[in-house]
A and B are shown apart, each in its own frame.
Chain A
Amino acid sequence: MAQLAVFVLDTLYSVAVLVLISAGLGIIFGMVRVINLAHGEFLVLGGYSAITAHGLGLNIWLSMLVVAPLVVGMFGVVVERLIIRPLYGRLVNTMLATWGLSLVMVGGLNMIFGNTTTGIPLPVGGFSVGGYQVSGYNLLLIVLAALQMFVIWLVLGCTRFGLLACGTMQNASMSAAFGVNSSRVYMLTFACGAALSGLAGGVLAPLIGLTPGGGANYIAKAFITVISGGASVVSGLVASAGLFGTVSQIFTAVATPIAGELALLVVAILLLRALPSGISGRYFRNRI
């Protein structure tokens, strides 16, 4: 019984991590239609912001949950203005330009922080279920991921900004004709996506040994979760993260973590072969 509970918790945790690391990319791909290959480095930047803020004496929660998204969000504004703006509508070119950005960020972070592992302490302790020790922080991440998805759904579905954003992404010139400043909406949406990546990087910083090149470990997983999810930001993302998280956890439990990662990747390929426009392209058309 306790073993089952731990397995369920572990599965939920791996789903939550997938949701957290993919949400920012999902917003940027699903809404702005830009494939941000610098996403992994956005995460790393968030992590480093949190660590630096914490090192300067700021409260750890504040540095993870406020400073990290703020810094990366502002960075996102700059990136959108300088690099992404001329490339809207040219999907492959945005991929290449953001790949360049990712190399620049790896190089820059390497020069600033050095090629070593840094970390911050876990802010919460663990507790035991039956004979097993469970990390309280993992539980917190699960709650945070659920909360984050709920907030995104709320913002997109129920607020004026969400409506304007969805409208602009569907037909920019039409919404511009209605008096919406579409270039600003694009910028803000991109910044929101970047901020979400920063948040993920901030909250994951205590769990991973952060290195400047560490983003590469996340970009592929985030990428396939988002692409397999399809164009619907919330429903697609939750569906694919749920599927991949469960598969990888099952294979991790019966074999090794490497087998789990490989199984995730293989399932992604098979899924894309079967559903070329992602899960939400097939099952959740025209939902958020």
Chain B
Amino acid sequence: MAVWQQTVGAFLIGLVIMAALPLVADYYTLTLLVVYGILALSLGLIWGYGGILCFGQAAFFGIGGYTFAIAAINFDAAWPALFLAVAVPALFAAVLGAMMFYGRLGDVYLAVVTLVVTLILFKFMNATAGQEWVIGAARLGGFNGIPGFPTLHLPWDAQAWLIDDRLYYFCFVLLLLCLSGCRLLLASSFGRIIIGIRENETRLQLLGYDTHGFKTALFTVGGGLAGLAGALFANWSEIVTPGLFSLGQSAEIIIWVLIGGVGTLIGPVIGAALLGWLKFVFGQQSVIDNSLVMGVLLILVVLRLPRGLLPAFAALAARLLPGRGGGRRRRLLAARNHRPGETPTGHEGGSAHGS
């Protein structure tokens, strides 16, 4: 199978990149960028392929982090906590997704509901400072968050913590596995139906597919991936705070995906790593405010490169190298035909003005 070969090839290339990156930056920074990559991938999957613009991906990220912390304290073991940290956000995404998709919420309303859910979690977590807010042995800690939970260690050696280089390699391999998994998922019939729904939901419904169910399933996968990123983030930072749920966090995920390229898998990952690194660089000086830079970038990309960096570069490469890579060009055309943010129905959301 061509897809299998491509995926394995890409996986091997990824391993080479994984080995090469520590030459240019330290493990601590790189690990964070890799975790951001998984988070960006989760939104890149549901937005780029399912056409679901979720403004609250940070909610699943935060739930993943908190689940990991709470479960790790209660079990006094990190590995079962990691599985819960994927399962709980996925379940939450399934419930929320089913409510939204079967409720036939339009694009804008979906964005608002996910935004509001993130906000509820943010406010709630900030309000849990008191003694009475405990889950098992874990105090929720309000604004200060939960510090001091057991982190991951090598499965055969309880004293060998996954820190620095070990955590980096672990996260990177997980990122590669997630990327490969998404690639194979999209090549399956499930993936084709999902892309079909993105292109024309009504047509897929008329063909007899339960489009709401498919979207819910995709949303669930995205929630699980974001939860995994949250758990890894918790391992990296060794503390979880309500800041995980903040609007700024949600904004950043969207910016990563948009700048990397909506409708690609590797684009969001590159976008996250690039912007995470930029943020790190700009954070070291205090002349220009960090969010100013991010904002200018976002505006410029929306106005000038609405398809993101990767498709723009790929289109450029395709123009410079004519006659090579037919399959690649076909995929580019498919990506070009889908412009993010343009819904086929145009003015979504209950216009009382009519037309």
Which A residues have a C-beta under 8 Å from some C-beta of B?
Answer: 33, 35, 83, 86-87, 89-93, 95-97, 99-108, 110-111, 166, 169-171, 216, 219-220, 223-224, 227, 230-232, 256, 258, 261-262, 265-266, 268-269, 272-273, 276-278, 280-281, 284-287
Contacts and interface: CB of A to CB of B under 8 A. Distances in A.
A268 B109 CA distance: 11
Contacts of A258: 123-124, 127
B295 A100 contact: yes
A240 to B, nearest CB: 12
30 contacts: A33-B347, A86-B303, A87-B302, A90-B341, A91-B108, A92-B111, A92-B341, A92-B342, A96-B302, A97-B298, A100-B298, A104-B291, A107-B288, A108-B289, A110-B291, A110-B292, A111-B289, A166-B353, A171-B355, A219-B247, A220-B119, A223-B112, A230-B352, A231-B350, A265-B119, A265-B120, A265-B123, A272-B105, A276-B350, A280-B352
B348 to A, nearest CB: 6
B290 interface: yes
A273 B99 contact: yes
A107 B112 contact: no
Contacts of A95: 111
Most-contacted residue by chain B among A104, A219, A258 (CB, 10 A)? A104
Interface string B98-135: 01100111111101110111011001100100000000
A69 B283 CA distance: 34
Contacts of B342: 90, 92-93
A273 B99 CA distance: 8
Interface in B319-355: 340-343, 346-355
A48 to B, nearest CB: 15
Contacts of B15: none
A224 B116 contact: yes
A170 B355 contact: yes
A281 B350 contact: yes
Contact of A276 (B104, B116, B119): B104
B254 interface: yes
B244 interface: no
A99 B298 contact: yes
Contacts of A286: 352-354
Nearest 3 pairs of A and B residues by beta carbon = A277-B350, A107-B292, A103-B295
Contacts of A111: 288-289, 292
A96 B253 CA distance: 12
Interface of B is mostly: helix
A87 B348 CA distance: 15
Contacts of A166: 353
Contacts of B119: 220, 265
Contacts of A97: 298-299, 302-303
B113 to A, nearest CB: 6
B251 A261 contact: no
Contacts of A87: 302-303
B292 A99 contact: no
Interface residues of B, number: 56
Contacts of B255: 100
A89 B346 contact: yes
Given A92-B53, A100-B296, A262-B123, A107 B109 contact: no
A167 to B, nearest CB: 10
Nearest to B302: A97
SS of A interface (majority): helix
B258 interface: yes
B293 interface: yes
Contacts of A219: 247
Contacts of B123: 258, 261-262, 265
Given A100-B298, A103-B294, A281-B352, A89 B120 contact: no
A221 to B, nearest CB: 9
B223 interface: no
B341 A104 contact: no
Interface string B69-113: 000000000000000000000000000000110011111110111
Given A91-B347, A170-B354, A258-B123, A110 B107 contact: no
Nearest to A37: B251
A273 B103 contact: yes
B137 interface: no
B314 interface: no
Nearest to A107: B292
A276 to B, nearest CB: 5
Given A92-B53, A93-B302, A269-B116, A231 B296 contact: no
B340 A231 contact: no
Contacts of A99: 251, 254, 295, 298
Contacts of B302: 87, 93, 96-97, 100
Contact of B109 (A256, A265, A276, A285): A276
Contact of A272 (B113, B120, B258, B354): B113
A16 B152 CA distance: 51
A29 to B, nearest CB: 9
B222 interface: no
